[in-house]
Structure 1
Amino acid sequence: MAAIFPAGVVIAAVLLPVAVVLCGFPATTMTLERAFPTNHGVQMSKLRARDTIRHGRALRSSDVVIDFPVGGTVNPYLVGLYFTRVQLGSPPREFYVQLDTGSDVLWVSCSSCSGCPQSSGLKIQLNSFDPGSSSTASFVSCSDQICSSGFQTADSSCSAQNQCIYKFQYGDGSGTSGNYVKDLLYFDTIVGESVDANSSASIVFGCSTSATGALVKSDRAVDGIFGFGQQEMSVISQLSSQGIAPKAFSHCLRGDDVGGGILVLGEIVDPNIVYSPLVPSQPHYNLNLHNITVNGQTLPIDPAVFTTSGSQGTIVDSGTTLAYLATDAYDPFINAITNSVSQYASPVVADGNQCFSTTSSIAEIFPEVSFNFAGGASMVLGPEEYLLQQGSVGGTALWCIGFQKSQSNDITILGDLVLKDKIVVYDLAGQRIGWANYDCSMSVNVSANTNGSGSVNTKPRYVSSSLRNEPLKPTSTAIVMCFLILIVKLPAFLANI
């Protein structure tokens, strides 16, 4: 989904590593950018609005690593939009597509699209895909196996012309529909220190012929969405089935104002990573959360609150800006932190959020929080991973708890607020997620083998971009929708969000 940007938005310089060859096989590269405003003037209510809309959306082994250079910042007050450039067709055309870890489909605007925007406030050149102009393009028939897999996840249906088609509806009322097309996706391969820009693979993607609602807004327009979900229709699944990429991806997102980071198809290897198994047969990246501790004390929350079922569970979602707690877990969490700092900070309720006015360093007075998962894996959060500075009162800094009460009552969502400054590994082959605190401005070890063997240290580099540091000119109403970074498919347990 496209995003709207408040005044002062710029595109950041891009800091990234190069994925180096493992066992003589090449790595491949794409460029990921992120746009963001350069001040901390975004109110928490706007961040919640962004997440509400975002949550409303209906969500073989290889020795190759594909890396996506990351730009921008994941600071929630520097809210942004992750997108990457992809090349499709013959001859290849370049498209800017939004990264989405929750949905399964890569789609771009089709040349015959009704309602698709023709220009973008992001200062990027929008393009449309014309199947008739690509010598390697073909429409996907309903009898194609990948179309059949889409039937099972409601991503596909069949037209009167026996063509595989789709229709997606978004939580804000916008939507898109079109045909599935099979054509070439291009990427750079890295062998040692050399780069070969002539690699390609045949994939299935969407060619949208209709767009409505926010998707037609030019001030936040991109060419489409790049889904990184687990189903067969996702690019990561298609590339891994062809032996081109491993069935795993990882990210490490910088939490400072400089931003940037790393996103790879492959496993980032670090001795400190702890893993927790994924809950099977879920449309999202669900984990079993056992309990939460504050200053080492387990909160009085019934463990059943975190049990995954049709209407509840705990989701790891890099597309959500803040973090959300199930209703019955929220008050014990807020109360424990408030009681812990009562002698050092003055409690203030601002914009419906529990905040604190203090002249002290938050690292010195606020407690350590730990989310404890199945498999003995704990995600330990320092104050900077659950607090957000929300201006000041009388010259004194005002810090607010960034965790919000879940609007669906029973869903706990761990978003960018807690995922920043961490290596996060989505091992789809092993059905687990791992994480470790890390300085994401540094290089990382990357392996295409999910057991971590044969890892190679990546080397940081900058990717030049015509977008970098160019200011954007949004509309005055832009701020409300700018928080829709990534979109997920709507599973049954998010139906009421």
Structure 2
Amino acid sequence: MATLTPLFLFLSLLPLFSSASASSKDISILHLHSNRSPFDTITAMAANDEARLSYLSSLAVIPVASGQQITQTANYVLRAKLGSPGQQLLLALDTSSDLSWVPCAGCAGCPAATPFTPSASSSFASADCTAIAAACAPINQTYGSASFLATISKDTLSLANDSIPGFTFACVNSVSGVNSAMPKQGLLGLGRGFNGLPAQTQAQYSGVFSYCLPSFKSYYFSGSLRLGKTGQPKSIRTTPLLKNPRRPSLYYVNLTGISVGKTAVKAAPEWLAFDPASGAGTIVDSGTVITRLVRPLYEAVRDEFRRQVGAVEWSTLGGYDTCFATPTEKESPTVVFHFEGMDLVLPAENTLIHSSATPIACLAMAASPDNVNSVLNVIANLQQQNVRVLIDTVANRVGFARELCN
């Protein structure tokens, strides 16, 4: 099977609304590989999910204030400007990270890209880091197989026509280890901690944002990020947003069950339970590629899926254990996630991925790893594509609505 370059989805800002209190804007997402099958690139991206889940587990033992909110997979980035005058950057979008970070000029070992130059910005300043780290010395961050030192800083962040003065972020000074998977120009944290974008822009956007990730089948492969109350779907169905003090940066929801076709999968309560003591439960995450379910729950879903597909020869491919020769997508059962107060129906494009080399389809889900994350269910970005995901950190709700993300 041919190896394709890793897949990156880029967001270019559309200045649809002017700066205002509780304003709204759409930030479009453009896919760079619209002429390629997603299987090889998704498989390569999903290989980083183990590291991603290891990062999520670190949130259980490292306080949010330490600034350890570093994503492990950069599947989507947004175009932003930092500084005065603004320096354009492509920042990875991550709903499970709080502290944003960018490589700064002079960074030793940073990936090859145009870094942010603090000396060229008239609004750049050191931030009060005492609330973030125990001391104002450079803080140590980890990213997959790499680690880096950064100083807490602040500057003006520009998104479309809006400006966010005094935005707190980490200025990366040096990187060690393997940096090939790092976002070249940094990360924008949309996590729910006090350093995340929602908290820092509470007065401007009221703690509300939504995003719609494009399908790999979309010709234009573009979607949008929307900030603020204005322009959000009015009829969207929602489920309560839960807060887990063990992992306070993450967006937890109450997953009550899963159906395959018309059959409700039998699930023990502990497979779905929200437990603040252990960090168990279900989260919505933009950085993980394929949905991970606690092992017994995944096996129950997988076995029911296989039963309904029928007597076919099952194979493994690229880490997926439920692959089969593609008859037609219509013959595959629909998977439904049942949340408290609403259901999310996954069509075939959110359930299966297809090989570019052979007519093979695979169930795009996997078991959670056998480590501290064995208790965590992750609703990942492949299952969120062509879905408007609304997060309201003030009203404590998460919404899902089908939408063509163009």
Same fold by TM (over 0.5)? yes
Amino acid at match of 1:168: Q
Q: Does the 8 Å contact 1:34/1:80 carry over to 2? A: no
- The answer on 1:167 being equivalent to 2:140 is yes
Structure 2 match to 1:275: 238
Within 5 A, what are the aligned runs for 1:311-390?
311-342=279-310, 346-351=312-317, 353-359=321-327, 361-363=328-330, 365-374=331-340, 376-390=341-355
User: Contact conserved, 1:253 with 1:440, CA < 8 A, in 2?
Assistant: yes
Q: Distance in 2 between matches of 1:24 and 1:414?
A: 31
Relative to structure 1, is the Cα distance of residues 223 and 157 closer, same or farther in structure 2, using a 3 angstrom cutoff? farther
Paired position in structure 2 for 1:208 = 172
Matched, 1:185 2:157: yes
Q: 1:314 Cα shift?
A: 0.9
Structure 1 residue 188 displacement after superposition:
3.8
More off after superposition, 81-90 vs 40-49: 40-49
CA distance in 1, matches of 2:172, 2:41: 34
Q: Which residue in 1 is equivalent to 2:204?
A: 244
Structure 2: gaps (5+ residues): 60-72
In the alignment, the residues of structure 2 paired with residue 291 and residue 99 of structure 1 have an alpha-carbon distance, to the nearest angstrom, of 28
- Which has the higher mean CA deviation after the structures are superposed, 245-254 or 104-113? 104-113
- Return the offset for 1:380: 1.2
- What is the TM-score with the length of structure 1 in the denominator? 0.68
What CA deviation, in whole Å up to 9, does each residue of 1:349-405 have, x standing for no partner? 12351122243x212x2222221112x211112222211112465xxx321111111
User: Does 2:124 align with 1:137?
Assistant: yes
Structure 1 counterpart of 2:257, from 281, 288, 291 = 291
In the TM superposition, residue 228 of structure 1 has moved relative to its aligned partner by: 0.9
Give unmatched runs, 5+ long, in structure 1.
Answer: 1-5, 60-78, 121-125, 151-155, 190-196, 442-497
Measure, in 2, the Cα distance between the counterparts of 1:207 and 1:417.
Answer: 31
Deviations 1:155-194 (A, max 9, x none): x2313xxx6x432113x331122211122223443xxxxx
Correspondence for 1:39? 36
Task: State the shift of 1:213 in Å.
Answer: 2.3
Residue type at the aligned position of 2:84? S
User: Which residue is equivalent to 2:95?
Assistant: 101
Identity value in percent:
23
User: SS of the residue aligned with 1:223?
Assistant: coil
Structure number with greater Rg is 1
* Preserved contact between residue 16 and residue 261 of structure 1 (Cα < 8 Å): no
Measured after TM superposition, the shift of residue 293 of structure 1 is: 1.5
Give the alignment's TM-score, normalised by structure 2: 0.82
Q: Which has the higher contact order (CA 8 A, sep 6+)?
A: 1
Q: Could you tell me whether the CA contact under 8 Å between 1:108 and 1:129 is conserved in 2?
A: no
Report the equivalent of 1:487: none
C-alpha displacement of 1:234: 1.7
**Partner of residue 261, structure 1:** 223
Q: Which amino acid aligns with 1:94?
A: Q
Q: CA deviation at 1:129?
A: 2.5
Which residue of structure 2 aligns with residue 128 of structure 1? 116
Moved more, 286-295 or 44-53: 44-53
Q: How many residues align?
A: 375
Q: Counterparts of 1:311 and 1:293 in 2: how far apart (Å)? A: 24
1: distance between equivalents of 2:25 and 2:232? 18
